[in-house]
Structure 1
Amino acid sequence: MLRLRYSLPLSVLSFSLLPLTAAISTAAQAQSANQLEPVTVTTTRGNSEAGETPQKITVINRDEIEQQMAITNDQAQVLSNLIPSYSPSRQKLTNSGETFRGRDPLFLIDGIPQSNPLRDGSRDGYTIDLAMVERIEVIHGASAEHGLGATGGIINFVTRRPEGTELRQHIGVGVSAPTDYESDGLSYETDYRLEGIHGDWDFLLGGAYKSRGLFYDADGRAVGIDQAQGDTMDSQSYDVFMKIGYWLDDTQNLELSVNRFELEGNHDYVGIDGDRANGVPATSVKGDPAGDPVRNEALTTSLSYRNTDLAGNDVRLQLYTQRFRARYGGDTFGTFQDPTIAPAGTLFDQSQNESDKYGAKFTLTRDG
């Protein structure tokens, strides 16, 4: 390799630095004679004004949901595939560790909060089957609008509405299996809807059922089951949904909506710990776990009134309730051993989150 080098004589270098030294000395004297007042500089990542900063909104339509459901029936995985700022799904019943923009989102169903902040069990992401959802509205960024925690943003599942003017029915079925076929990894699902509009009445009745098998990794090994927080694999779920509306006139509508969702583990497998040092992952084998199976149960009801032209305003009043039950796995955890209650190592602990909410909302919207 050819290298070219050039050396500057030291005498020339020393001579050239003398004027520069003199200039620095003169500037320092001028600065000491004229002291500047402190200057404060503020900036934002975008050109915005206080109180007038819009939030980014994403709407996931039914076609996009259908495309994702051809790949997975896991709600969290659908969200992570379609929303870049939603963390990858853990495919567990408990969505602890899954974040939206690095923080916890607030899940809603038709504007009804699904979180239970007084006893946050991180199960609010699994309270409805996606077969009953028309679209998903996502607000990026923290919001205190609902007062129930939305530090990462809001994810609102908007349920289906009746379409057309005739009685319509729909039935769907689906089956999935691991690439390396294993019978215990077989999953299947079905859903049914009956809907119609008759005179001033409209209605929609729907139901969905899913049976999930064991999950396998890319090497054909059974994934380790989470016996404490709960898993969506090796489980069954069903959703029963009803929506009935009555039009008082062309601008006024009354609507009753009820959604009953339950997911429960089959309780057929136990977890086997892995060995991190030797690169052995955790796995699952047939067994009889202690305690009762993990479960998520949610009953969400809503009665709403809407007037689209009340003195030029769009007004909506909503009354709602939510009954929530979440059971977690149990074991003889060392943390909960108390010799005054039972001999050490024999005290079995299993918890359940039971929460009930009653609420009301009043919304007024006016153009301009």
Structure 2
Amino acid sequence: MSNTIHKGICLCLLSGLGITTPLLAQQPPAPGKKNSDTTRLQTAATRALGEVVVTASRKPVTLDNVPSSVTIINRKTLENDMAINTDFTDILTREVPGMAPGAQTNSNVGQGLRGRAVLVMIDGIPQSTPLRNAEVDLRAIDPAVVGSVEVVKGATAIYGNGATGGLINFITASPATDKILSGKTSLNMTGSLTSLKNSVGGRISQQLQGRYKKWDYLVSGVYEQTGEYKDAKGQLLGPNYSLGETDSYNLFAKAGYQLNSRQRIQLMYNYYRSQQNSNYTLVNGNYAQGIPATGIPGKSTDAPTGAQGNHNVHLVYQADSLIGQTSLTADAYYASRNDIFYVSLGRFDGGDGQSHTLDRKAGVRLLFNTPLLQHHGFSGALSYGADVLHNVTSQPLIDGRVWVPEMNMLNYAPFAETQWSLWQDLIVKAGIRVEKVNVSVDDYTTLRITDSKGKTITPSFRVQGGDLRYTATLFNAGIRYNRFPLLMPYASFSQGFSVADLGLALRDAKVNDIRKINTEAVLVNNYELGFVSEYQQLRFEWSGFISTSKLGAEMVYDSKTDLFNVSRTPERIYGFEAALQYRVLRNLDLSASYSYLEGKSDTGRSGHYDMYLNGRRIAAPKVTAGIGYRPVDELEVRLQYTGVNARNRFARNAAGTYNGNEGPVKAYNLVNLQASYKASKRTLVTLGIENLFNEDYFPARSQWFMIPGFYSKGRGTAFNIGIAVSY
């Protein structure tokens, strides 16, 4: 955890729309030289943290030169985390202040940033489905092929629609060798220490990479099969969306060609599949009695839940030193995903139904960067370009019935941003972006929704389709002053835009024309103040923020219909995050962080924010800590701590329990152990122990969600033993 670098980065409103973090990080070094980005990341623990370079714009900039909040997870940190488990929802919980805790499932429901939606990307390719937010986008790629992760916190329009709370960009690995052929083979065995029976799983990963003349390449294949997941008492965890008994595959390929000293072209493809094949059927839990969900032997005839297939293709062209020293980055991408959900019993027209989201994206981005001034401590640059995205999303039932009709979106967004360094210590950024969105929907018929007894809750009727148009002009500005290392303050303002879960509104339509449905987009204003303080081997960062929107996206439970509806009332969310890193000795590192978040809505639209936002939006306070010790060069031992504090904001209802999403969260504490030993120059042996002290707990989501099928406990003590051989 001490290798994670919590820093400010002005990936403000526009600097990443095609000014993508992955590309320069991916660009391989010239033959005979080490990859400078890789070297920086791998040696970050031995340098001043502010020197770490990220590609927040076309040209790499140091984190201390940007005025907003970000967390960088480098490759070394990812490898440490993978020695415990390969679940990105869990890794991000441990490593990112402000990230809501996960629930050890293939769904990231409620796991947002700063109380709002997060946009997940792979090399800048959107994985999220904001038109119908399925909240499964963190199951998009295996960490074995990720070189680093950049997490931008707070509303941003870097890549357009969907990032009202921030974004997570998985930057894929690049070849880091001068050989024609080199590789690494990894083998792991996993299982439960509370009950070994049927819990043992395995993982194999094979990677090959190389460089020949002007060509470079990296290919990888990963297969993982998990056994049964057990709680602290050795009992089976509820199989609904469990990561137990899951088969995951990841195929990855990247090839680049250096056309000449100033031009490069690169092609990447990634395929990810993760589906549960359980030998158990669900036994619902009981929140009122504290009985967790579990399972009984029995093979389901339903389609396996999870990501049936996630494809990403990315083509990038770079050219430097054009007219006026302008540089160009042009890229095109295609992405598709198919995510299958659990069966809803008796809900659809008096019968069962199993839905899946189908999402296809195709886009192109153009970015130009022109230097404006380089003179006597003053320097400036102008970034400008445009992004075009075509996105088609739907949520039908697997049997072909239409639940959410196909939504066909065309999004065009020109932008410009300027950045200046004044007197070397004063950094100023400002930008503008214009979003133009058109969503087309054909005529459709809603499904009749029933309760458990077959009684109609919402009838089926015909809805007239049409076009929905959105236009928004978004701004960002930031300033940072780095004169004194003991106090380097920054301030920023940024705006985010999202067509807020249009599919949810369409499937729950109660009118006969989509123009009569409240589908107005959400515009979020994010204000942030923070500072960084450095003294010798100590680094401390604090950031406070306020996020406001005139329209909300709160999922509120309706006791009359037993359904969740979207509340569009104004919202205000605020909080702070603090992170500390300290190198005590050359071989001893410490780290810690604390995150606090609160939010309310203005139910009367009177300017008085009187209603707390529920647990789906506002996470309980979170504490993390870590210690890393290297007694000898060949051995490293790390302890990680994650503490989720209590949150209780809502009163019991008439039935003596709580409305959906409003359950109180009881505190719990988790400790993980990770050790790695370099047995030889090419062989690394790893050991990970998850939940070292076998905490018996319900994850925060189980507590506030309270839905019987998802009221599942967390995993008890589990092991992960691995060996990796490089050649």
- The two structures share one fold, judged by TM-score above 0.5: yes
Q: Does 1:324 align with 2:346?
A: no
1:280 to partner: Cα distance: 2.2
- Conserved? CA contact 2:194–2:232, under 8 Å: no
- 1:107 pairs, out of 111, 120, 128, with 120
SS at match of 2:94: helix
Sequence identity of aligned pairs in percent?
31
Structure 2 residue aligned with 1:27: none
Letter in 2 for 1:205: V
1:331 to partner: Cα distance: 4.1
Q: Partners of 1:289 and 1:331 in 2: how far apart?
A: 14
Q: Partners of 1:242 and 1:183 in 2: how far apart?
A: 37
Structure 1 residue aligned with 2:322: 310
SS at match of 1:76: helix
Q: Does 1:217 align with 2:231?
A: yes
- Conserved? CA contact 1:132–1:160, under 8 Å: yes
Tell which has more relative contact order, 1 or 2 (C-alpha 8 A, sep 6+).
2
Listed as ranges, the matches of 1:183-198 within 5 Å are: 183-198=197-212
- Conserved? CA contact 1:86–1:101, under 8 Å: yes
Letter in 2 for 1:91: Q
1:320 to partner: Cα distance: 0.2
Q: Partners of 1:178 and 1:152 in 2: how far apart?
A: 35
- 1:200 pairs, out of 210, 214, 219, with 214
> Structure 1 residues 57, 225: CA separation in 2 closer, same or farther (over 3 Å shift)?
same
- 1:362 pairs, out of 340, 359, 366, with 366
SS at match of 2:194: coil
Q: Partners of 1:275 and 1:76 in 2: how far apart?
A: 25
SS at match of 1:225: coil
- 2:142 pairs, out of 119, 122, 129, with 129
TM-score, normalization: structure 1?
A: 0.79
Structure 2 residue aligned with 1:351: 355
- Conserved? CA contact 1:290–1:330, under 8 Å: no
| Deviation sequence 1:57-76 (CA, Å, 0-9, x none) | 22110000011111111101
Higher deviation after alignment, 308-317 or 244-253: 308-317
- Conserved? CA contact 1:211–1:235, under 8 Å: yes
SS at match of 1:67: helix
Structure 2 residue aligned with 1:254: 265
Q: Does 1:173 align with 2:187?
A: yes
Structure 2 residue aligned with 1:241: 252
SS at match of 1:260: strand
Q: Partners of 1:262 and 1:242 in 2: how far apart?
A: 15
Q: Partners of 2:322 and 2:200 in 1: how far apart?
A: 54
- Conserved? CA contact 2:269–2:313, under 8 Å: yes
Structure 2 residue aligned with 1:21: none
1:232 to partner: Cα distance: 2.2
Q: Partners of 1:256 and 1:165 in 2: how far apart?
A: 19
Letter in 2 for 1:295: G
Q: Partners of 2:187 and 2:314 in 1: how far apart?
A: 29
Q: Does 1:55 align with 2:68?
A: yes
> Structure 1 residues 280, 325: CA separation in 2 closer, same or farther (over 3 Å shift)?
same
1:274 to partner: Cα distance: 2.4
1:211 to partner: Cα distance: 0.5
Decide which structure has greater helix share. Answer: 1
| Deviation sequence 1:186-211 (CA, Å, 0-9, x none) | 12111111100100111111111111
1:182 to partner: Cα distance: 2.1
Root-mean-square deviation (CA), in Å?
1.9
How many residue pairs match? The answer is 307
| Deviation sequence 1:82-106 (CA, Å, 0-9, x none) | 0021111111112111111222211
Q: Partners of 2:168 and 2:143 in 1: how far apart?
A: 13
Q: Does 1:88 align with 2:92?
A: no
- 1:182 pairs, out of 196, 203, 213, with 196
1:53 to partner: Cα distance: 8.6
1:217 to partner: Cα distance: 1.5
- Conserved? CA contact 1:115–1:148, under 8 Å: no
> Structure 1 residues 181, 314: CA separation in 2 closer, same or farther (over 3 Å shift)?
farther
Q: Partners of 1:307 and 1:315 in 2: how far apart?
A: 5
- Conserved? CA contact 2:71–2:151, under 8 Å: yes
- Conserved? CA contact 2:225–2:246, under 8 Å: yes
- Conserved? CA contact 1:290–1:331, under 8 Å: no
Structure 1 residue aligned with 2:22: none
1:115 to partner: Cα distance: 1.2
Q: Partners of 2:97 and 2:71 in 1: how far apart?
A: 11
Higher deviation after alignment, 69-78 or 285-294: 285-294
Q: Does 1:273 align with 2:277?
A: no
Q: Partners of 1:316 and 1:108 in 2: how far apart?
A: 18
TM-score, normalization: structure 2?
A: 0.41
1:366 to partner: Cα distance: 4.4
| Deviation sequence 1:223-251 (CA, Å, 0-9, x none) | 1121xxx3322110100000011101112
SS at match of 1:351: strand
1:352 to partner: Cα distance: 1.5
> Structure 1 residues 77, 146: CA separation in 2 closer, same or farther (over 3 Å shift)?
same
Q: Partners of 1:189 and 1:241 in 2: how far apart?
A: 16
1:137 to partner: Cα distance: 0.9
Higher deviation after alignment, 84-93 or 358-367: 358-367
Letter in 1 for 2:248: S
Letter in 1 for 2:182: R
Q: Does 1:118 align with 2:122?
A: no
Decide which structure has greater strand share. Answer: 2
Q: Partners of 2:243 and 2:121 in 1: how far apart?
A: 20
| Deviation sequence 1:116-163 (CA, Å, 0-9, x none) | 222221121111111000000111111112122111111100001111
Extract unaligned runs of 5+ from structure 1. 1-50, 339-346
- 1:145 pairs, out of 149, 155, 158, with 158
Q: Partners of 1:263 and 1:92 in 2: how far apart?
A: 11
- Conserved? CA contact 1:161–1:204, under 8 Å: yes
Larger Rg: 1
SS at match of 2:247: strand
Structure 2 residue aligned with 1:299: 311
Q: Partners of 1:355 and 1:155 in 2: how far apart?
A: 19
- Conserved? CA contact 1:113–1:148, under 8 Å: no
